[in-house]
Amino acid sequence: MSSSRAAAAIRTAARRPRPTRRRKPDPIRTWVRRLDRTRPGLVRDTLDLLAGLHGHPVWQRRFDPTSELILTILTQNSADVNAEKAFEALRLRYPSDLPSEAHLPGGGWGGIGLSEAPPPDWAAVAGAPLDELVDVIRPGGLAPQKAPRIQATLRRIHAERGDYSLEFLGTMAPLDARDWLTSIDGIGRKTASVLQLFSFDHPLMPVDRHVERVSKRIGLIPPKASADDAHELFLALLEPADIHEAHVNLIRHGRLVCHALRPACDGCPIRPRCRHVDPKAP
């Protein structure tokens, strides 16, 4: 091809419209739009019906953020009461002279609350022989997995910040703070969201097994949504101001009414809108 014909061919190709690349639909936005279209008002109705039954919980910080994080790690796949026992054991074995803190469990917490006492000496916990720490937190369950996780978490905080305080997270944008936390091995979106919601009132929705079960039964989120997707779905479905109440009341509902094995559907106010009762519920 002569150079002038080649140049003409290039000019023609440049004028030809490029094929537009179709963007993959975002499954979170697709679900939210579909719910809005096919079941209008479902989110609002659910929140209102839950509030009618369980009330309007008031947010209050329940613990220092480092204590909240370690306590939340202790609750992973364990009952809250057992996590409380393990946390008390940490306080006893590694006492500190820090100011006493009260644990204000509030709604949604499944334990009895912790006595008022100083937090553990985090440097001593981070530096303890691993076998010793496993023994100390054994009452909480899964100690061989959690002890190294707790030490790695504390060491990472200290390496990056020079102390064990997590108060700096409260000054960050919620999703940036969540990214910082989830970059630590063993801390997922649920653990990070618990810490941020209850220590800083960040509008992030922790999705535990109760929240997941109740919301899937009602049809707020798709039945096959993964745990990570469920966290993002709630951020798209809920107004930030509703997140604390939604979290606490869905947990209460899961514990008191919508049990895993035999949900008490007959007395449940959500029944008319629940897809577990009627697959065609509006």
Interface ranges with ligand SF4 (CB under 6 A):
214, 217-218, 257-258, 263-265, 268, 270-271, 274, 276-277
Smallest separation (angstroms) from ligand SF4 to the CB of 230: 16
Smallest separation (angstroms) from ligand SF4 to the CB of 173: 34
Smallest separation (angstroms) from ligand SF4 to the CB of 268: 3
Closer by beta carbon to ligand SF4, 108 or else 263? 263
Closer by beta carbon to ligand SF4, 74 or else 257? 257
Residue 150's nearest CA partner among 123, 169, 176 is 123
Smallest separation (angstroms) from ligand SF4 to the CB of 271: 4
Residue 241 · residue 64 · CB < 8 Å: no
Smallest separation (angstroms) from ligand SF4 to the CB of 256: 10
Closer by beta carbon to ligand SF4, 62 or else 252? 252
Q: How many residues does the chain have?
A: 282
Closer by beta carbon to ligand SF4, 56 or else 259? 259
Residue 229 · residue 44 · CB < 8 Å: no
Closer by beta carbon to ligand SF4, 93 or else 275? 275
Give the residue ranges of DSSP H helices in the chain: 3-15, 27-38, 42-54, 65-75, 80-93, 122-127, 130-136, 143-161, 174-182, 189-200, 209-218, 227-237, 243-256
Q: Compute how many other C-beta atoms are within 10 angstroms of the C-beta atom of residue 229.
A: 17
